[in-house]
């Protein structure tokens, strides 16, 4: 048995109201972070992204080098990692402890040799260093508070700027060295970077600063609702950009419009007027927190909701959506489609061909615990103590959620009957109405159903089999081989076998009719198993675990397995078969991946 990694459906950027999020781009690819994951997303092929998960601490910003061969990414503890993106191994080129706190921004020079990192340090707020050796290539000084942004001019002589919460922009040039031809040439290149002048055009926090592609200009934006234009070689202030915003730039909660000056037009620079404005929306979730140019025509902006809005001259709006928070549940209602529920209560529908589409309507207000499918409906259980119904034809939540009466732990569906495991026992509903309640001695932690048979797992390491007769649950027997709290249960497609996983990483397979253990060798996970999924032929079962691994087990040869190591950072939260031989997995990294599984001949 073998596997091949196919597609990646990456998470969208993680956002926080009132704080800007740094986006960057390289050709038609955009780069951003979410948790410990760095995402490089291709706008032309959204399912063929790159994810980098080797940061120990949450990643905060990432930039691709001008050469396109490397990516520099910073984290919340002040570390900068430079890693290869030309190959598939993501080899680490260098790691630098830049400052003692969060990295807020990074900038490469045109040679892809030097990096400036700025942020929230203690002794210093920024450093300039060589990307190969980590040696210093200048001093970042002149600020008294946290730095929010930096940029390096991609034209000789190099120049650099930094901006921060002290309302100041600092302009850097090269060190002037006299009477030495060799060193004078080095100084003319603009490195090492040294303080030249402070610019105090803003009256509130300066949130971002950027050189134009030509290097002739740079611009700044701030919380004072102002944007300014400067000479890229001397740092001289040229004037304010007017007509761009009526509210704060990127940070003010009332800001719902995105306006961008097109630097390529000389006439636009002279008039300093916004030439294009896109209206994203009027709700709080439409607040714009960051933007970047991708390719020659696309302007990508980030909404508070996590949606990436793609604007160009030919198409007014092409939002690209995906999970923002860790994915907590997964279901595949039909061939080629799957749904993912996340920690923020949202559900997103995916197709292998077309990518993501958000489920609209009133969603859950807390983490989605489980998804279960029957016919054209998906049932979702959330930590807001409700069960909601999703119509997968219209991709909408239906009105009137069903209260669970306790914190739900799992959900299963058989026909029109919904079985909900919660802290108060098992609740059975039909058409949104309570039909039966079963109290249990030990807290129910997982549930599955096949026909009239219902399996309920508990904290006491046992699984109880029940028969549903239309009016009540009749106990059939207990399955007691597991070594930990029951975390996932799945019936084989024919209902003959049931796989039961636990918090110790063990999976036991039982004969349903005999209520006897038949397989006890699926014990390769080292952490809690979150999900189980049987292939349609009933010969193979996949599992996903907190240990970040996926295993595919064979019923015929139970001691052999296929291991997909390190499938998702922070753990695999769901697995499901979407097509014959195609497995989809979800993770705490907010991403989904598809894997081609080839059984032995």
* pLDDT averaged over every residue in the chain: 89
**pLDDT confidence bin for 64, thresholds 50/70/90:** very high
Residue 41 has pLDDT above 70, yes or no: yes
Query: What DSSP string describes 116-151?
Result: EEEE--SS-SEEEEETTT--EEEE--S-SS-EEEEE
CA–CA separation, 310 and 351 (whole Å): 20
Q: What is the pLDDT of residue 251?
A: 31
Q: Would you say 237 and 263 are in contact if contact means Cβ atoms under 8 Å apart?
A: no
User: What SS3 state is found at 155?
Assistant: coil
CA–CA separation, 590 and 597 (whole Å): 22
Express each pLDDT in 552-600 by its tens digit.
999 999 999 999 999 999 999 999 999 999 999 999 999 999 999 998 8
Express each pLDDT in 290-299 by its tens digit.
888 887 777 8
Q: Which of 97-111, 173-187, 565-579 has the lowest mean pLDDT?
A: 173-187
Q: What is the pLDDT of residue 497?
A: 98
Mean pLDDT score, 425-447: 95
**pLDDT confidence bin for 321, thresholds 50/70/90:** low
**pLDDT confidence bin for 526, thresholds 50/70/90:** very high
CA–CA separation, 419 and 50 (whole Å): 39
User: What SS3 state is found at 449?
Assistant: strand
Residue 181 has pLDDT above 60, yes or no: no
Express each pLDDT in 483-519 by its tens digit.
999 999 999 999 999 999 999 999 999 999 999 999 9
Task: At 161, list the tokens.
Answer: 């700027």
Q: What is the pLDDT of residue 185?
A: 46
Q: What is the pLDDT of residue 187?
A: 45
Using alpha carbons, select from 140, 187, 181, 186 the residue that is nearest to residue 164: 140
Please state, for a pLDDT cut of 90, what percent of the chain lies above it.
71
Q: Give Cα 103 to chain centroid, integer Å.
A: 19
Name the residue with tokens 């209206």: 279
Q: Which domains does the chain have, with CATH numbers?
A: 2-320 (2.130.10.10), 327-598 (2.130.10.10)
Q: Which of 14-18, 124-128, 205-209 has the lowest mean pLDDT?
A: 14-18
Please state, for a pLDDT cut of 70, what percent of the chain lies above it.
90
Q: Give Cα 88 to chain centroid, integer Å.
A: 20
CA–CA separation, 501 and 524 (whole Å): 11
**pLDDT confidence bin for 273, thresholds 50/70/90:** low
Residue 250 has pLDDT above 70, yes or no: no
- The reported pTM is 0.86
Mean pLDDT score, 431-447: 94
Using alpha carbons, select from 552, 558, 564, 563 the residue that is nearest to residue 599: 552
Q: What is the pLDDT of residue 334?
A: 82
Express each pLDDT in 208-237 by its tens digit.
999 998 999 999 999 898 999 999 999 999
Q: What is the pLDDT of residue 237?
A: 97
**pLDDT confidence bin for 18, thresholds 50/70/90:** confident
User: What SS3 state is found at 267?
Assistant: helix
User: What SS3 state is found at 186?
Assistant: helix
For the chain, the distance separating the N- and C-terminal CA atoms, rounded to the nearest angstrom, is: 8
CA–CA separation, 120 and 74 (whole Å): 12
The residues, any chain, with a CB within 8 Å of residue 514's CB and separated by 6 or more, are: none
Q: Give Cα 296 to chain centroid, integer Å.
A: 26
Q: Would you say 204 and 224 are in contact if contact means Cβ atoms under 8 Å apart?
A: yes
More confident: 302 or 82: 82
Helix and strand totals (H; E) in the chain: 2, 55
């Amino acid at each position: 048995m073998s596997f091949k990694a196919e597609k990646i459906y990456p998470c969208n950027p993680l956002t926080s109201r009132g704080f800007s999020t740094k986006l960057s781009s390289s050709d038609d690819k955009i780069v951003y972070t979410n948790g410990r994951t760095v995402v490089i997303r291709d706008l032309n092929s959204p399912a063929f992204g790159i994810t980098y998960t080797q940061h120990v601490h949450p990643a905060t910003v990432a930039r691709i080098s001008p050469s396109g061969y490397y990516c520099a990414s910073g984290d919340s503890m002040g570390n900068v990692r430079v890693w290869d993106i030309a190959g598939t191994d993501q080899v680490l080129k260098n790691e630098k402890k830049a400052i003692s706190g969060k990295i807020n921004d990074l900038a490469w020079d045109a040679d892809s040799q030097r990096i400036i990192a700025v942020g929230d340090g203690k002794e210093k707020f920024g450093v300039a260093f060589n990307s190969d050796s980590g040696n210093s290539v200048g001093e970042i000084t002149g600020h008294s508070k946290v730095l929010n942004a930096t940029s390096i001019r991609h034209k000789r002589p190099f120049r650099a700027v930094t901006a921060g919460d002290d309302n100041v922009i600092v302009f850097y040039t090269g060190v002037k060295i006299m009477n030495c031809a060799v060193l004078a040439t080095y100084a003319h290149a603009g490195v090492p970077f040294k303080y030249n002048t402070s610019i105090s055009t803003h009256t509130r926090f300066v949130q971002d600063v950027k050189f134009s592609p030509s290097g002739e200009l740079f611009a700044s934006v701030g919380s004072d609702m102002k944007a300014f234009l400067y000479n890229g070689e001397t740092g001289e202030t040229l004037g304010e950009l007017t007509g761009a915003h009526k509210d704060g730039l990127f940070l003010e909660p009332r800001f719902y419009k995105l306006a961008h000056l097109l630097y390529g037009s000389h006439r636009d620079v002279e008039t300093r007027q916004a030439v294009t404005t896109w209206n994203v929306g009027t709700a709080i979730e439409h607040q714009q927190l960051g933007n970047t140019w991708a390719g020659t025509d696309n302007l990508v902006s980030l909404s508070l909701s996590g949606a990436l809005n793609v604007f160009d001259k030919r198409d007014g709006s092409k939002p690209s959506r995906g999970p923002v928070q860790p994915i907590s549940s997964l279901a595949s209602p039909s061939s080629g489609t799957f749904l993912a529920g996340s920690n923020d209560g949202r559900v997103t529908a995916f197709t292998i061909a077309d990518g993501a589409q958000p489920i609209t309507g009133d969603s859950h207000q807390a983490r989605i615990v489980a998804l279960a499918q029957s016919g054209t409906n998906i049932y979702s259980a959330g930590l807001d103590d409700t069960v909601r119904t999703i119509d997968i034809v219209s991709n909408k939540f239906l009105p009137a959620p069903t209260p669970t009466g306790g914190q739900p732990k799992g959900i299963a569906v058989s026909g029109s009957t919904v079985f909900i495991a919660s802290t108060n026992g098992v609740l059975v509903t039909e058409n949104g109405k309570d039909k039966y309640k079963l109290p249990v001695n030990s807290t129910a932690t997982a549930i599955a159903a096949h026909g009239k048979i219902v399996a309920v797992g508990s904290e006491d390491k046992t699984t109880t089999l029940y028969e549903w007769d239309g009016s009540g649950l009749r106990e059939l027997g207990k399955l007691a081989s597991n070594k930990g709290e029951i975390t996932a249960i799945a019936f084989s497609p024919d209902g003959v076998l049931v796989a039961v996983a636990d918090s110790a990483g063990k999976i036991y397979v039982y004969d349903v009719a005999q209520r006897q253990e038949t397989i006890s060798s699926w014990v390769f996970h080292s952490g809690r198993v979150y999900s189980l999924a049987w292939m349609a032929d009933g010969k193979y079962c996949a599992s996903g675990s907190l240990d970040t691994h996926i295993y595919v087990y064979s019923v015929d040869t139970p001691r052999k397995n296929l291991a997909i190591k390190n499938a998702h950072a922070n753990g695999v939260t769901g697995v499901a078969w979407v097509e014959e031989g195609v497995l989809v997995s979800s993770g705490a990294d907010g991403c989904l991946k598809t894997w081609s599984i080839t059984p032995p001949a």
